[in-house]
Each structure stands twice: as C-alpha cells, then as structure tokens.
C-alpha cells in the first residue's frame, strides 16, 4: 500500500473532515495518547493529545515485514559493536577530537574498560528508523535513517494509536482499510526486556530506575512501559541526574543505591544530548556506569548508536567483520543502508565536501547528536561546510544521501495548529529488544552465554 490510499473525495470533504478531526481528538484522549502542555510541562493537571495524523500512514506489506526481519540482525549488530573496543576506538577516533560530547562519553567508556566491567547482563531497547526511498520506476526500497540506542521513545503512545485510526476509519465508512491496521504493543515488548533483565539481576527488592529529564511533557509514553512493569510486581522509581548526584552511592560490591534503594536497572530516558549534563551529571553517569546495575543502554551501546559508527558500517568489509560466514545477514542489513560519507581530514573527506557543495539538495548533513531537529539540509549545508571545510571541525559531521520518499496527503493534528491538508513524509520505526547474559564467577570467566531477541514494532 503506497501513495494516497485515502480517496481524494474523502480528503477534500471539509464537512466530513471536521467531524473526523473531533472524533480523532476525543479518541486520542480516551485512549491515552497524551502529552502535557508547554505551559505546564511538569503537571498532569492540564493535558492534551499528542501530535498525530488523522489517517494512518501507508507502508507496503513486503517492506514492513522486511523491516521486522532485519531488526533481529540489527539487535545482534549493535550488541557485537558494543563488545568490540578496537572497532569503537577506530571508528570514533576522529570524532572525539572535535566533538566534546562524544569525547566525554568515550572517556567514561575508557574508564569502565580500564577498571573492568562490573555487570554481565546487557539490555538493549533500540529503535531503528526508516524511510521508503522512491525509485524512478515507482518502486520503493527500505532505507535506514538512524538507529536509536538510548531513550528510544513513543513505544508507549504508539501502542494506543491503532485504536484511534481504526475508529476514525470506521466513522469515515472505510471498513476495508480499517481491517488493514495491525495490532501493535511496543510498550509490552519493552517491558518484557526490562523484566527479563530484572529477573537476571536477582533481587526482588531492587528497583528499576527511570532516569528522566527535568521537563516531562512526554511522561505518558514512559508511564505505559512503567505500568507494564508494575503489573509484573516490579518496583519502579523515577529520578533525575540531580537526584542520583545527591543520594546515589555504590557499596563495596558496586551495587548502586539511590535514596537508599538498590537499583537493578537504570533505564535512560535522558542523557543523550550535551544539554542534559552538568559536571555533577557527568559524575553521576560515571558512577552509574561503574555500578553493578544493568544499564539500558550501557556506555558502549550508547556509543554504538552514534552517527559516525553508522557511517563506518557502510564501508566495504565492515559488516563482514561482525558477521563472518553469514553473507545473507550482511546482505539484508546492507540493503537498508543509504549512502554515508566521511568528512574526516584527507582526500576522501575532501571529496565528500566537494560532492556536498556541488549538489547540496541530494544530501543531509548530520552532526553527532540524537533527539531530532539537528540535521542540516539544502543551502544550509553549503553555509556550514564553507565555514568548516578546511578545519578539523568538519569531522564532527557525516554526510548522508537524502532519501526521496513518496509524499502522502494527510491532516496533522497538533494543539494550536490550523487544520489543513498537508504533504507528509513518514518514517517507520521498528523497536528491537535484546538481553545478553554472560554468567561469570571468580573461577570461570565465562561459563554460559545466551542471547534473547524479542521483536516489537511501531506502526503509525
């Protein structure tokens, strides 16, 4: 299914659209697809619906299942990268020279490696984001935009979105299209991964700590995962970096305590941007990484999700390094890659600069940042690169081919925004959950190794 699958006579029927918009907004409130308001970001006294589209976005069935299938391989890839210190050192060597944030993260990584890893349980809650690249013959291919290894959001809200779209389509009389919307419950899958890691930690008194931001507009997305854990009788606390600074400590066995409570898992919903850190917060991050608590993600998995690592994976032979003897896996992963190019100093980086300046509309310039809103497009690429093209500062970026998805007409529903038919470009986000456990003892370095892959998906 691709293109404008909702007929034009429906999209242009203003009376019907007004009815459907009211139905959709009420359905969003009834289903708990909520956010706090800008005016009261830390209070649930006043809430509104989270931004969403009136109609669901179409995804071709074959591409949808391709994205689900390859997620298992991306789970393994991220985990393998996180265990390969030589690769991380090589891949990020140029970036840490010019990007202070990545350097600070990498310094913590080096500290943990030097001291020795304390915890053998590894938990990954990732989200791989894709767009459909439209070809001249009308076909489309799945291209990865990025993989998020820290604070991958909207698993909670997206679990309730299908109910809204089904209801809207029923009211619109589109019963056949209604049947094509899939069930989706990423929050349960994310909670299952957290629950498995908590079980392996082995203390019923220990809590899962959601490390949260100061501003909490998107709190309900967290709450869905949190409530799934409470259903399993797993205790959850919510704290900020500042709370860890004030009340956090390690005992002689490096168990982490916050407010006097032992912490089994630290689930990072914060810590992915420079502005999340003060000097005290950096100290708290180091204490967490040194602790026995399971980190989601741990520092090496956080680094595995950087843009520079994504670019390095596109180089010939790199995927084969992680999947020796598995050409089918390499082929499936590589098929999702868009062109990614280095901006390191030297002839290869110089060629990338010249290519971007000549045809800026064909590329996206990406800094080493997460959280959205940081990418650079069009004429702005020329402006940025002209300023750094002869400087090592350019190494803080990578260049990516601009994916050309097929636009779809839809109505974007956002508090305070005028209602109008918009041209929309959609992403498909696929959640991946994995737990790796290496049982260790003082006598035997590795006595058991098992990997569990749990796949849940986001379909909007």
Binding residues for Mg(2+): 146, 148, 370
Sequence-distant (≥ 6) Cβ neighbours of residue 407 within 8 angstroms = 423, 424, 425
First-residue to last-residue Cα distance in the chain: 14
Task: For residue 431, count CB atoms less than 10 angstroms from its CB and return exposed for 0-12, middle for 13-18, buried for 19 or more.
Answer: buried
Residue 335: helix, strand or coil by DSSP? coil
Q: Which two tokens stand for residue 427?
A: 């992403």
Task: For residue 452, count CB atoms less than 10 angstroms from its CB and return exposed for 0-12, middle for 13-18, buried for 19 or more.
Answer: middle
List binding-site positions: 127, 146, 148, 307, 366-375, 377, 427
List binding-site positions for ATP: 146, 307, 366-375, 377, 427
DSSP 215: S
Sequence-distant (≥ 6) Cβ neighbours of residue 276 within 8 angstroms = 213, 241, 270
Q: Any idea which residue has 């009136």 for tokens?
A: 54
Query: 323: closest CA among 308, 333, 309, 336?
Result: 333
Q: How far is C-alpha 456 from the chain's CA centre?
A: 13
Regarding beta strands 34-36 and 397-401, do their DSSP bridges make them parallel or antiparallel, or are they unpaired?
unpaired
| Rounded Cα gap, residues 259 and 249, in angstroms | 9
């Amino acid at each position: 299914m691709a293109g404008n699958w909702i007929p034009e006579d429906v999209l242009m029927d203003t009376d019907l659209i007004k009815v459907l918009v009211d139905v959709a907004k009420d359905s969003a409130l009834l289903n708990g697809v909520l956010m706090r308001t800008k005016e009261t970001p830390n209070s649930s006294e006043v809430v509104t619906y989270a931004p969403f589209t009136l109609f669901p976005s179409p995804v071709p069935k074959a591409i949808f299942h391709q994205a689900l299938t390859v997620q298992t391989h991306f789970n393994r890839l991220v985990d393998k990268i996180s265990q390969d210190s030589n690769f991380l050192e090589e891949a990020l060597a140029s970036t840490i020279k010019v990007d202070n944030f990545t350097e600070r993260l990498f310094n913590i990584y080096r500290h943990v490696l030097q001291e020795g890893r304390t915890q053998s349980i590894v938990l990954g809650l990732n989200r791989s984001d894709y767009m459909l690249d439209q070809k001249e013959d009308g076909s489309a291919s799945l291209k990865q935009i990025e993989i998020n290894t820290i604070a991958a959001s909207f698993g909670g809200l997206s679990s309730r979105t299908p109910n809204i779209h089904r209801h809207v389509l029923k009211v619109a009389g589109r019963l056949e299209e209604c049947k094509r919307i899939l069930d989706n419950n990423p929050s349960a899958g994310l909670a299952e991964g957290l629950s498995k890691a908590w079980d392996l930690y082995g203390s019923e008194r220990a809590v899962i700590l959601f490390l949260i931001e100061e501003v909490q507009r998107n709190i309900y997305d967290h709450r869905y995962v949190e409530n799934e854990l409470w259903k399993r009788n797993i205790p959850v606390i919510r704290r900020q970096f500042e709370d860890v600074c004030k009340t956090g400590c390690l005992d002689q066995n490096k168990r982490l305590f916050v407010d006097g409570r032992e912490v089994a898992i630290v689930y990072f919903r914060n810590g992915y941007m420079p502005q999340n850190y003060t000097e005290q917060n950096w100290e708290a991050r180091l204490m967490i990484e040194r602790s026995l608590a399971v980190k989601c993600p741990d520092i090496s998995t956080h680094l595995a999700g950087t843009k520079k690592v994504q670019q390095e994976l596109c180089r010939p032979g790199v995927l084969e390094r992680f999947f020796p003897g598995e050409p089918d896996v390499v082929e499936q992963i590589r098929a999702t890659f868009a062109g990614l190019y280095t901006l390191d100093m030297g002839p290869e980086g110089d060629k990338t600069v010249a290519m971007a300046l000549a045809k800026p509309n064909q590329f996206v310039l990406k800094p080493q940042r997460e959280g959205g809103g940081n990418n650079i497009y069009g004429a702005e690429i020329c402006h940025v690169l002209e300023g750094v093209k002869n400087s090592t500062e350019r190494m803080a970026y990578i260049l990516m081919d601009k994916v050309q998805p097929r636009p779809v007409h839809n109505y974007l529903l956002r508090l305070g925004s005028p209602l109008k038919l918009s041209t929309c470009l959609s992403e498909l986000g696929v959640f991946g959950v994995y737990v790796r456990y290496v049982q260790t003892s003082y006598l035997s370095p590795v006595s058991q190794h098992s990997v569990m892959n749990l796949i849940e998906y986001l379909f909007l």
